[in-house]
Amino acid sequence: MKRLFEDTLMKWKNNGMKKPLMVIGARQTGKTYTIEKFIFENFEEHLSFNIEKEERIRDIFEKSIDAEVIIKELELYIGKNIDLDKTVIFFDEIQESERLITSLKYFCESKLPFKIICAGSLLGVKLKRLKSSFPVGKVTIEYMYPLNFEEFLLATGKEMLRDKIKECYKTMTPLPDFAHEDALKLYRLYLCVGGMPEAVDNFVNNGLDIFKFDFKILSNIRESYVADMKKYVDNKSESVKIEKVYYSIPEQLAKENKNFQYSILEKNARGRKYRNPIEWLMASKLVLIANNVKRVEIPLKVFADENSFKLYLSDVGLLLNLSEIKYNEVLMDEDFIFKGVITENYVAQELIRQFPSLYYWTSDRDAEVDFLIHTNDGIIPIEVKSGINNKSKSLNVYIEYNKPKYAIRLSTRNFGFENNIKSIPLYATFCIKD
């Protein structure tokens, strides 16, 4: 399965690999598979160690964090010398060893040609709670997410359609009607399957037949996330709060006002009580956060309200699974209120691949624009429509207030550019870059 993250790995290789590469992402997003495929294809020799399973490797780091001492111990462990010029070393599940994380500084500073890649399913959580010093400036950090729609097209053998979508986006010319309909059909299938590699693989292996797709895969992944909440959180009451936040997200997004409300969790609840659980979910990459911006200025981060935000799930397939939506309602493009929530969550997970943070805009006149992005053309508003409707009262208010160079409307309409608004089909969201 082709992953675009392979390009990130290749960039690290081409840049000399002096700094260890740390890959952060949620469980079952394909980190281990993608990294091991990359090192097998690009290095004469490679070593992989799972820190969670191999206690003796953890013990090596407990004894010393000196890079050269560690290599000697690893050579003794595997029973042969390591040719550092030809060998890349992959440490998986490194959240299990704080000493290993600390040792990355010394791998970076060593004069020996170390090539170190490491990854972890709850690594983001570990880094936030790291007791010892983090090797700031000595590590290259990259984030890996589930497959986006572009990767879904590649996985389903639709590379030519992907290329045509990118071409039409660049020229803002409509896709041929038959191709547009095919792309919309695949987009709706993606909403059902999502981007978790195991789910996509099952869908592909069943001939792209949604009726043969094993929906239990998504349930099992979701349950494994909940198990992690219980396993990796010391305080039981804290894990209960994390789970409560996670399961509340569909209801939060279904409200007319989609801003996260603590009262949904429990009566008279306050932000202070749930701040840590939300931060845990964000660090684990199980949820995505979008902050409200009322004053549109550069940089958006400075003018964002950290107390006014929305939470999305990291994968739209998991959202449908958690919400118990029947897939035929999505595939038949039936009109129901929650369809807008599904669409918005999909757009959020596409945009986070290209932009460091998510933002949305509200005004005192109750107008709201779903997303704001900072590009070379300035701050650009994005309105999300789940269907073909192009009425844009809120977008018009935004344009009147802020006068952007242009605006973007995502919907099921074909490509077009009219009244300074770019009409971009939802399936082409992956084309939007900074």
Going by pLDDT thresholds of 50, 70 and 90, the confidence category of residue 184 is very high
User: Is 287 within 8 Å of 313 (Cβ atoms)?
Assistant: yes
Q: What is the pLDDT of residue 379?
A: 97
Q: What would the pLDDT profile of 45-57 be if each residue is shown by its tens digit?
A: 999 999 999 999 9
Q: What would the pLDDT profile of 280-303 be if each residue is shown by its tens digit?
A: 999 999 999 999 998 999 999 999
Going by pLDDT thresholds of 50, 70 and 90, the confidence category of residue 350 is very high
Q: What is the pLDDT of residue 202?
A: 98
Going by pLDDT thresholds of 50, 70 and 90, the confidence category of residue 249 is very high
Q: What is the pLDDT of residue 131?
A: 74
Residue intervals of the chain classified under CATH 3.40.50.300 are 5-143
Q: What would the pLDDT profile of 225-246 be if each residue is shown by its tens digit?
A: 999 998 888 788 899 999 999 9
Q: What is the pLDDT of residue 83?
A: 97
Going by pLDDT thresholds of 50, 70 and 90, the confidence category of residue 380 is very high
Q: What is the pLDDT of residue 129?
A: 78
The rounded percent of the chain whose pLDDT value lies above 70 is: 100
pLDDT at 133 over 80: no
State which fold the 5-143 domain adopts. Rossmann fold (3.40.50)
Q: What is the pLDDT of residue 416?
A: 96
Going by pLDDT thresholds of 50, 70 and 90, the confidence category of residue 272 is confident
- Summary mean pLDDT of the chain: 94
Model pTM score = 0.94
